[in-house]
Amino acid sequence: MSARMRTLVLGRLVPLFVPLFVLNALLVFGNAWPTLWPRPALAVSIELAFAVAALVLLAGWRGRIPPGLVRVLAALATLWIVLRYVQVTVPALFGRPLNLYWDLPHLGAVLDMGGDGPGAKILLALALGALVVLALYGVVSACVRALAHGAAEAGARALLGGVAGAAILLWALAPWVGPAPSSVTSSAFARPVAPLALEQIRFLSAALAADAADRLGADPDFRGDLAALRGADVLILFAEAYGAVTFDRPPIAAALTDAREQFATAIATSGRRAVSGRVVSPTFGGASWLAHAAVLAGVDTRDPADYALLLTTDRPTLVRHFAAHGYRTVGWMPGLQRPWPEGRFYGFDRIADADSAGYAGLPFGFWRIPDQASMARIHVDELSGRFGEAGGDFGGAGGGIGGAGEGIGGAGGAPKRGSSPGSSPALADDTGPGAPTYRPGMPAETAAKRRAPRLVVFPTVTTHAPFAAIPPLREDWSRLLRADAFHREEVDAAEGQPVSWTEPLPAYLASMRYQFGWLADYLARHAAQDLVMIVIGDHQPVGTVSGPDQPWDVPVHVIASDPALLARFEAAGFIAGLTPPQQPLGPMHVLTQLLANAFSSPPRDTPRRNAPP
């Protein structure tokens, strides 16, 4: 290489193209699924091309780029790189895009999962994040200064303008040329970051604006009664992270075959049947409260701003519908660990949060109260009143447990009517306005309870990501009501298991086996014969379990001993057994009207499939 050529390369091209290459690489990387790390990508940032073109035009007009503007451009470029990381990482890990308005208030809880306390972990994460951003700004600032310096020289300016112009021209022509124009654009050019920023601005403006409540759509039709239930207790169990991948992905389905068969056997041997359907959840991998609200209020909650708006309205809810027909309504929410005044919207007679649910044992993992222990307390406080009544004695003989072993709104709540841990409000609250309403045809078993029938809404927590720590199943359910529910050694062993966000499938499978195990044992040995149990998956598990490009489908099971009631669900599109059909009934909020119609007498018409919102 001649001295002149070497001077040209080292003196002109390297100072221009090295910073250009670095900035482009920082704006086009992808995600190395299933990790948090970025993955280098061979693509062009069209946003960088437009920025360089603007820089060239400004330098040609002004002759130089002011230092203050260089700093502003460096800050904007750093922000764009951070947004690019969010753009490719959040959907890869959680199967849904970021929503700053809704996710930021819960960031601390997410960072603390699996830890001993929020303070140190959050501060460490914030400190490391700040250092990374500062280092990134230093690199970006040096690159922008180099480009600004080059743009001030006529020869370098022409070179930069030519490169930027060629990229913009190719991007503009890509949709019109080639056998597959869209593939040319998607493979040669990285997805722009600007739409993500604009979408976040739209979310924030919509959430903060005084929008009319009619954007939520029509109210559910609750003009029917609940006569088809014949006074039976109803348990709506939102199964955390119970997604359609447990049926649709062969490796996951095969790993859960034995546990699911155990569940099916318990249903059959207890004199019950199950019918199943499939719906499309409004969320994926998290934000369970959106699914809870969709079912309980009959509202499409895919937009978290609509959920926030919903809680400020006086729309009717499924909970209030049950209360209007003589049911005592209970929200059993062990995942609620902070005050949640907005929960009053649903109209529960009692909200049992982590502090008021009466769990006396050692805290077990991040969520403190294992699901089997919650079910034991629900049985005593709300579904039976005392051991041996209506559902069998927890401490009695019987078959053992086989197999291997968030609340609505994600914020917290408080019990009503002065109930306290360890008390039995099931008996104490049946003398006031919510006293039993007995109707002709009510089964003798229900009448024998001598209390109002129950609607219990129970969002589970043990199967929540990161699916740790998994407690042992207890054959003696009465022990779960005591302080010695779990030994310290059991807690330490479970919490000592490593937590993995990048390879969580084994832990997820263990948590699902735990869930099927306690459900099977409860139905086989303890549940009242006329109990109607509705198991609804709230959303698919996180993307590192579900895999890429999964639908947002979740299963729904209705388990009961009344064949006439189950026939109504089959007429609405459910099928017999625990395996749901492939075709969804529609979005999750269609379940509200479907449930109200199925429980009414005579049954009201229910759209079978793909019902409009």
Backbone angles phi, psi at 525, to 5 degrees: -120, -20
Calpha distance 298→75 (Å, rounded):
44
Of 314, 355, 353, 312, residue with least CA distance to 332: 353
Number of H helices, E strands in the chain: 24, 10
Q: Lowest mean pLDDT: which of 105-114, 271-280, 491-500?
A: 105-114
Supply the pLDDT for residue 445. 52
For residue 382, pLDDT over 70 is answered with: yes
27 pLDDT band, cuts 50/70/90, is very high
Supply the pLDDT for residue 226. 97
Intra-chain end-to-end CA distance of the chain, in Å: 70
Supply the pLDDT for residue 103. 60
**Looking at the domain covering 214-599, what would its CATH class be?**
alpha beta
Calpha distance 589→566 (Å, rounded):
20
Q: Lowest mean pLDDT: which of 268-282, 433-447, 574-588?
A: 433-447
Q: Lowest mean pLDDT: which of 47-61, 114-128, 263-277?
A: 114-128
Q: Which residue has the higher pLDDT, 202 or 319?
A: 319
The answer to whether 379 and 526 have CB atoms below 8 angstroms apart is yes
182-204 pLDDT, tens digit each: 555 557 888 888 888 887 777 66
For residue 110, pLDDT over 90 is answered with: no
CA distances (Å), origin 153, targets 6, 21, 59, 158: 19, 19, 9, 9
Q: What is the CA radius of gyration of the chain?
A: 29
Supply the pLDDT for residue 447. 47
Report the SS3 class of residue 278.
strand
Q: Max alpha carbon distance in the chain (Å)? A: 104
The answer to whether 596 and 221 have CB atoms below 8 angstroms apart is yes
136-167 pLDDT, tens digit each: 999 999 999 988 888 888 877 888 888 888 88
Say what percent of the chain tops pLDDT 70: 77
Supply the pLDDT for residue 24. 92
Supply the pLDDT for residue 366. 84
Calpha distance 405→470 (Å, rounded):
7
Supply the pLDDT for residue 412. 34
Using the structure block, give the residue that is written with the tokens 């919207």. Answer: 345
> Considering the chain, what is the average pLDDT of its residues?
81
Q: Lowest mean pLDDT: which of 58-62, 84-88, 234-238?
A: 58-62
Supply the pLDDT for residue 507. 93
For residue 39, pLDDT over 60 is answered with: yes
Q: Lowest mean pLDDT: which of 17-26, 108-117, 188-197, 436-445?
A: 436-445
Count of residues in the chain:
613
Average pLDDT rounded to a whole number, residues 543-564: 94
The answer to whether 410 and 288 have CB atoms below 8 angstroms apart is yes
Supply the pLDDT for residue 36. 78
- Reported as type and span, the H/E element at residue 534 is strand 532-537
For residue 119, pLDDT over 70 is answered with: no
Of 241, 182, 154, 208, residue with least CA distance to 460: 241
Q: Which residue has the higher pLDDT, 92 or 416?
A: 92
Of 543, 460, 503, residue with least CA distance to 245: 543
For residue 345, pLDDT over 80 is answered with: yes
Q: Which residue has the higher pLDDT, 419 or 566?
A: 566
Token couple for 190: 């990285």
For residue 422, pLDDT over 50 is answered with: no
Sequence-distant (6+) residues with CB within 8 A of 499 are 113, 114, 466, 468, 507
576 bridge partner residues: 275
Supply the pLDDT for residue 122. 65
Calpha distance 560→599 (Å, rounded):
13
Supply the pLDDT for residue 323. 97
Supply the pLDDT for residue 393. 41
For residue 267, pLDDT over 50 is answered with: yes
For residue 427, pLDDT over 60 is answered with: no
CB atoms within 10 A of CB 378: 23
For residue 99, pLDDT over 60 is answered with: yes
579-602 pLDDT, tens digit each: 999 999 999 999 999 999 999 987
Task: Give the CA-trace dihedral at 220, 226, 227, 233, to 10 degrees.
Answer: 150
Supply the pLDDT for residue 409. 42
What residue segments make up the domains of the chain, in order of their start?
A: 3-206, 214-599
452 pLDDT band, cuts 50/70/90, is very high
30 bridge partner residues: 39
Supply the pLDDT for residue 390. 39
Average pLDDT rounded to a whole number, residues 527-547: 94
Supply the pLDDT for residue 93. 66
Using the structure block, give the residue that is written with the tokens 């722009």. Answer: 192
Calpha distance 220→229 (Å, rounded):
19
Supply the pLDDT for residue 11. 56
Supply the pLDDT for residue 428. 35
For residue 444, pLDDT over 50 is answered with: no
Q: Which residue has the higher pLDDT, 181 or 375?
A: 375
For residue 434, pLDDT over 50 is answered with: no
For residue 16, pLDDT over 90 is answered with: no
